[in-house]
Structure 1
Amino acid sequence: IHMAIPRKKLVDSQNPGFYHCTNRCVRRTFLCGVDQHSGRNYAHRKHWLEKRMKALCELFAIEIYAYAIMDNHYHIVLYLDPKAPLNWTDDEVAERWLELFPGRPDQAINPRLRAMKKMAILHDTERLALYRQRLGDLSWFMRRLNEPLAKNSNREDDCTGKFWEGRYTSQALLDEAALFSCMAYVDLNPVRAKITDKLAESQHTSIKQRLDNIDSVKQLCPWKDEVTPVAGKVRPYPLPMRLQDYIELVEWTGRAIVKPEKADIPVHIAPTLDRLNLRKNHWLKQIENYGNNYFRVVGTIQKIRQKARLWEVRCLHGIAAAKLLYKSSRQE
């Protein structure tokens, strides 16, 4: 049983960090897949969601590093910097907010009315400060991602009512090992679901987008060989892993999931896990059982316990998995 933790505690509103967010459709008819009852295909909704999440990254202080849009749920691994909007000009804040709320979709944008709305924002310091704070808020990002899809889907289905199971769930990723583990887990969702055994055919995932952006992993130019976000630009530097190493790690993990009898880790991939202080023999188990191993946080034992103290709970799920995954006994 997981202890309830107030949502405002789960996401640090003062410091930047990485998070794994998920949401699930409540309906039998699925979010984006084929409704087995009626035979209708809702796959086009995956395009809606994929396009929407990338567009929102241009407005919020958020970068996306991994995502997977499945038939009835989706995953996003993102970086949030709640203080980044403090560096934006008042004009930029007003413009971003008006992009988020452009008006009714069935009405053409009135340039004069929009200009009046912008001036009203710029002359209201309290409202401007509120919008600035919201542009660095994860809940507002998820709200603006989920609400339009729910409304469009209800309109398409000619019905009303709840579309999502809940608002969303979030999981704090406390170190680089946790981040890359979660990214691989998300990128391999279609493989684990036995939809495909090829990353290049994993539709609506970040790993396919990364593969589409390069002609060949072996031909990566050194200056491009880095793991950067697939959407958004907030951090001034890439993640501390070569893109080629990450793709090779995900490719091998996917093959090992499909054919566990050939799961010995290749020599050229082992150094990647060593750099992350991870036990090679537990990496595959981590990816296969990620959803059961952790709940609100992922990281070393020490960092999980630090979060538990901060959130004033006795313990957090994930200690047992961390003991097996990380090499260092102290896990500092």
Structure 2
Amino acid sequence: MTIARTQLVSPDITSFYHCVSRCVRRSFLCGDDPLTGVSYEHRRHWVEQRILALAQIYCIDICAYAVMSNHYHLVVHINRAKALQLSEREVVARWEQEHQLPPLIQSYLKGQLSASEYPACLKLIHIWRERLYSLSWLMKELNYHIALRANQEDQCRGHFWEGRFKSQALLDEKALLAAMTYTDLNPVRANIAETPETSEYTSFKRRVNALESNQETPLGLFPFIGDMHQDQTNGIPFRLIDYMEWVDFVGRQMREGKPGYIKQTHPGIISRLSLNQIDSIHLCTRLERERGLWIGTKQRLQYVKSLLNRQRLHGIMV
């Protein structure tokens, strides 16, 4: 039975989610189609730029992403608090970047609203505010834009993506770490890149490029706050250098059925999070092989089951 998106994605349960969207047609999203010999590699740039552009509009932070040949991965943080702090005019300014404003809102911006029109104006702005932290709206606008451009290029019509994007709720730090690692290592595991820092159209490479330019956090990505920023609560709760070492370490582990791997190292993040190496590698492997809608400890999974009033929960326990 299909589970309602409102239960799968709820900021009251967790603000972190792993999303996957796949093509429904045989033709590739990106890369080279072995059947036709046509290259769609340029579409990777479309997807990456669209992700980063929407991150500037929506109050949904991008933790990690990887654009593959027929699908892409996103790990996101729903920043509801940020959306609720926006003024009415800030909400309108963000919405206007992607949508044409109705006459009512145009009158509001010019200060020409009558007293009777004001409640309807505020109601519309309230709807837009909620959409600015809606994961469904972000994915809808991302996928629609890419599908439209791809269909125009292919001179065809019809669905380009599967009907619904897949989402997994990340209930704690270990689940977040596993999902980000799995996402950033996708090109390495697929054997289309030797290392994460050479993996094109991934958040990992974008972060490395930013460091080489003396930029701590690249535009469009959620910052790592780690131990040095305890006064900050809005960011990924790891140190960037620890995360990079951890990804390199996990990427060194050879996997059955996965042709790609990288050299081995020992990440500092293991001791910081008190993670067991074998258990953590096992969790990353399970994310590839199992389909869990919620990922977290037994206690967190029990909490979600109680909160949603469900008898069973299709989750992955860490």
TM-score under structure 2 normalisation? 0.84
Q: Verify: 1:119 aligned to 2:106, yes or no.
A: yes
Q: Which one is further off, 176-185 or 272-281?
A: 272-281
Paired residues of 2:14 and 2:171 also in contact (CA < 8 A): no
Q: Verify: 1:131 aligned to 2:128, yes or no.
A: yes
Q: Verify: 1:296 aligned to 2:293, yes or no.
A: yes
AA aligned opposite 1:183: M
Q: Give the match for residue 270 of structure 2.
A: 273
Query: 5 Å matches for 1:16-27?
Result: 17-27=15-25
Q: Secondary structure at the match of 1:289?
A: helix
- Structure 1 unaligned residues grouped into runs of 5+: 103-113, 323-332
Q: Give the match for residue 215 of structure 1.
A: 212
Q: Verify: 1:191 aligned to 2:185, yes or no.
A: no
Q: Give the match for residue 38 of structure 2.
A: 40
What is the CA deviation profile of residues 249-271 of structure 1, one whole-angstrom value per residue up to 9, with x for unaligned ones? 111211223799x99975x52x5
Q: Verify: 1:165 aligned to 2:155, yes or no.
A: no
CA-atom RMSD in angstroms: 2.9
Relative to 1, partners in 2 of residues 1:252 and 1:186: Cα closer, same or farther, differing over 3 Å?
A: same
Paired residues of 2:170 and 2:296 also in contact (CA < 8 A): yes
Superposed displacement of residue 198, structure 1: 1.4
Paired residues of 1:185 and 1:290 also in contact (CA < 8 A): yes
Q: Secondary structure at the match of 2:75?
A: strand
Paired residues of 1:64 and 1:230 also in contact (CA < 8 A): yes
Relative to 1, partners in 2 of residues 1:163 and 1:89: Cα closer, same or farther, differing over 3 Å?
A: same
Paired residues of 1:64 and 1:229 also in contact (CA < 8 A): no
Q: Secondary structure at the match of 1:171?
A: strand
What is the CA deviation profile of residues 129-172 of structure 1, one whole-angstrom value per residue up to 9, with x for unaligned ones? 11111111111111111101111111111111111012311111
- In the alignment, the residues of structure 2 paired with residue 10 and residue 192 of structure 1 have an alpha-carbon distance, to the nearest angstrom, of 28
Superposed displacement of residue 14, structure 1: 4.8
Q: Give the match for residue 100 of structure 1.
A: 98
Query: 5 Å matches for 1:1-332?
Result: 4-14=2-12, 17-102=15-100, 118-120=105-107, 123=118, 124-215=121-212, 224=216, 230-231=220-221, 237-257=234-254, 266=265, 268-269=266-267, 271-319=268-316, 321-322=317-318
Superposed displacement of residue 294, structure 1: 4.8
Paired residues of 1:34 and 1:43 also in contact (CA < 8 A): yes
AA aligned opposite 2:71: H
- In the alignment, the residues of structure 2 paired with residue 81 and residue 16 of structure 1 have an alpha-carbon distance, to the nearest angstrom, of 11
Paired residues of 2:292 and 2:315 also in contact (CA < 8 A): yes
Q: Secondary structure at the match of 1:186?
A: helix
Q: Secondary structure at the match of 1:75?
A: strand
Paired residues of 1:293 and 1:317 also in contact (CA < 8 A): no
Superposed displacement of residue 15, structure 1: 6.7
- In the alignment, the residues of structure 2 paired with residue 181 and residue 64 of structure 1 have an alpha-carbon distance, to the nearest angstrom, of 15
- In the alignment, the residues of structure 2 paired with residue 312 and residue 115 of structure 1 have an alpha-carbon distance, to the nearest angstrom, of 40
Q: Give the match for residue 105 of structure 1.
A: none
- In the alignment, the residues of structure 2 paired with residue 36 and residue 73 of structure 1 have an alpha-carbon distance, to the nearest angstrom, of 16
TM-score under structure 1 normalisation? 0.80
Superposed displacement of residue 289, structure 1: 3.0
Relative to 1, partners in 2 of residues 1:16 and 1:117: Cα closer, same or farther, differing over 3 Å?
A: farther
What is the CA deviation profile of residues 54-111 of structure 1, one whole-angstrom value per residue up to 9, with x for unaligned ones? 1111111111010000000000001002342221111111111111225xxxxxxxxx
- In the alignment, the residues of structure 1 paired with residue 290 and residue 279 of structure 2 have an alpha-carbon distance, to the nearest angstrom, of 12
Q: Secondary structure at the match of 1:127?
A: helix
- In the alignment, the residues of structure 2 paired with residue 242 and residue 9 of structure 1 have an alpha-carbon distance, to the nearest angstrom, of 31
Relative to 1, partners in 2 of residues 1:177 and 1:121: Cα closer, same or farther, differing over 3 Å?
A: farther
Superposed displacement of residue 246, structure 1: 0.7
- Structure 2 unaligned residues grouped into runs of 5+: 110-117, 224-231
Relative to 1, partners in 2 of residues 1:143 and 1:115: Cα closer, same or farther, differing over 3 Å?
A: closer
Relative to 1, partners in 2 of residues 1:37 and 1:141: Cα closer, same or farther, differing over 3 Å?
A: same
- In the alignment, the residues of structure 1 paired with residue 296 and residue 219 of structure 2 have an alpha-carbon distance, to the nearest angstrom, of 21
Q: Secondary structure at the match of 1:125?
A: helix
- In the alignment, the residues of structure 2 paired with residue 93 and residue 183 of structure 1 have an alpha-carbon distance, to the nearest angstrom, of 29
Superposed displacement of residue 190, structure 1: 0.6
- In the alignment, the residues of structure 1 paired with residue 243 and residue 178 of structure 2 have an alpha-carbon distance, to the nearest angstrom, of 10
